[in-house]
Amino acid sequence: MRKKKKPPVDTRKWFRYQFFGSGAVIFPKENTVVDTTIANISFSGIGLYSSTPVGKGKKVKIKISFVDRKGKICEDFTEGKVDWQKKFKNIYLVGVIFDEELNTVNQPKLLEHLTWLIDTFNWPQPYKDKRISML
């Protein structure tokens, strides 16, 4: 008799937010850049859409570009590792885990914008543990 497969358990501690922007994925060792579109973002990782494969396990630097509430194009950088990649029709869905969580020292514009989005649209606070409110 076959065992029933257990449904996946979400162990993420940060909420993911839909986010409109682009991410230039930079491969420092290969000196190449892949342009992507941001699907979602959390304080510990980012989901991307890419027209080319990125490569699971690779260390990357990401330039995150977005339009802030004043209509200004802003950019911040973060680093991480490609955690997963799946092909879907003619695009690749890519998940990157950041080396360190987003913070006001390294990503001030991005964090300010995320804070504004969370407050303006009454999105859930970033940390899933309701006892802690980060913003």
Q: Which helix (H) or strand (E) holds 22?
A: strand 22-27
Checking if the pLDDT of 11 tops 80, the result is no
The proportion of the chain whose per-residue pLDDT surpasses 90, expressed as a percent, equals 73
Can you give the residue ranges of every domain in the chain?
A: 17-120
Structure-token pair, residue 15: 């909420």
Report the pLDDT value the prediction gives residue 12, as an integer from 0 to 100.
Answer: 63
The proportion of the chain whose per-residue pLDDT surpasses 70, expressed as a percent, equals 87
Report the first-to-last Cα separation within the chain, whole angstroms.
Answer: 50
pLDDT in tens, 94-127: 999 999 999 999 999 999 999 999 999 988 887 6
Q: Which helix (H) or strand (E) holds 114?
A: helix 108-120
Report the pLDDT value the prediction gives residue 131, as an integer from 0 to 100.
Answer: 47
Checking if the pLDDT of 18 tops 60, the result is yes
CATH of domain 17-120: 2.40.10.220
Checking if the pLDDT of 30 tops 50, the result is yes
From the list 117, 14, 21, the residue with the least C-alpha distance to 63 is: 21
**Mean pLDDT, rounded, for 50-63:** 96
Q: How far apart are CA 81 and CA 56, in angstroms?
A: 8
